Amino acid sequence: MTNTPNKLNICAFISGRGSNLKAIIDACENNPEFPARVSCIISNKPDAGGIEYAKEFNIPFAVISHKDFNNKQDFEAAILDALSHEPVDLICLAGFMRILSPYFINQWGPNIINIHPSLLPKYKGLDTHERAIKAGDSEAGCTVHYVIPEMDAGDIIVQRKVPILKSDTIESLEQKVLVQEHTAYPEAIKVIADNHFKKPEPTPTKVSSKQQTELSENNWINFTNFVKYGTIATIGALILLALLLL
């Protein structure tokens, strides 16, 4: 896939049905102004449902199964190699069920983000909806955050909340949160892309030494004028006062 100027190139990592991937593709496809595009997709599962979206939208994809490698290092080396064949600015983990090593994460610096189905920092890890219901929480939600070596702990980009009703089950809550995920993820991508393409702030113009001399001369003239006219006004006021008293 070729690069497109003014569009952030996304590689989505998936392991399953890919509904978040689809939401991201839709955001990119349905709005020509959206500042990102999905340039490639990597799945660690050959049967991930989300691969169908890669085919439907003609997006290059690679299946890199962790099971084909003896260790994480080799698995990640294969992913890094795949990434080097497509333009990629941002990795979006969208239901990717492997934990990336600190080595991999550090290679990509701040350019990996993830969506997690809880209101982080609450409920890192799995079974988030069940834990929120069991805890008697009144609200749940989702969080799009930067990925750092500590799991589900990076800075938050976007967070969305939903109320937990007495009638909610794990499934109904998951469904409600998922609806929010599908708008939260594109919103977070837009925030990052807008920031990426933002024109740099104009740097303050340097004042030349000649201008500096002129400025300080002007300041001096202003100061002496202030003293001169201030003195005249004070003397005038004193004379007036003396005349009034006589």
186 binds ligand GRF (CB under 6 A): no
Identify which of residues 62 and 142 has a Cβ nearer to ligand GRF in the complex.
142
Catalytic site includes residue 85: no
* One character per residue 78-117, x = contact with ligand GRF (rule: CB under 6 A): ----------------xx-------------------xxx
Identify which of residues 178 and 191 has a Cβ nearer to ligand GRF in the complex.
178
Q: Is 158 exposed, middle or buried (0-12, 13-18, 19+ CB in 10 A)?
A: buried
Helix, strand, coil distribution of the chain in percent, nearest 5: 45, 15, 35
Edge-to-edge strands of the sheet including 36-43?
A: 61-63, 36-43, 8-14, 90-93, 112-116, 139-146, 156-163
Identify which of residues 130 and 196 has a Cβ nearer to ligand GRF in the complex.
130
| Among the residue ranges 17-25, 200-208, 219-227, 229-237, the one whose residues contact ligand GRF (CB under 6 A) | 17-25
Instruction: Tell the smallest beta-carbon distance from residue 83 to ligand GRF (Å).
Output: 20
43 binds ligand GRF (CB under 6 A): no
CA distance 184 to 106: 25
Is the preceding omega at residue 121 within 30 degrees of 0, hence cis? yes
Options 66, 85, 116, 182, the catalytic residue: 116
Residues of this chain that interact with ligand GRF (CB under 6 A) are 16-20, 94-95, 115-117, 142, 178, 181
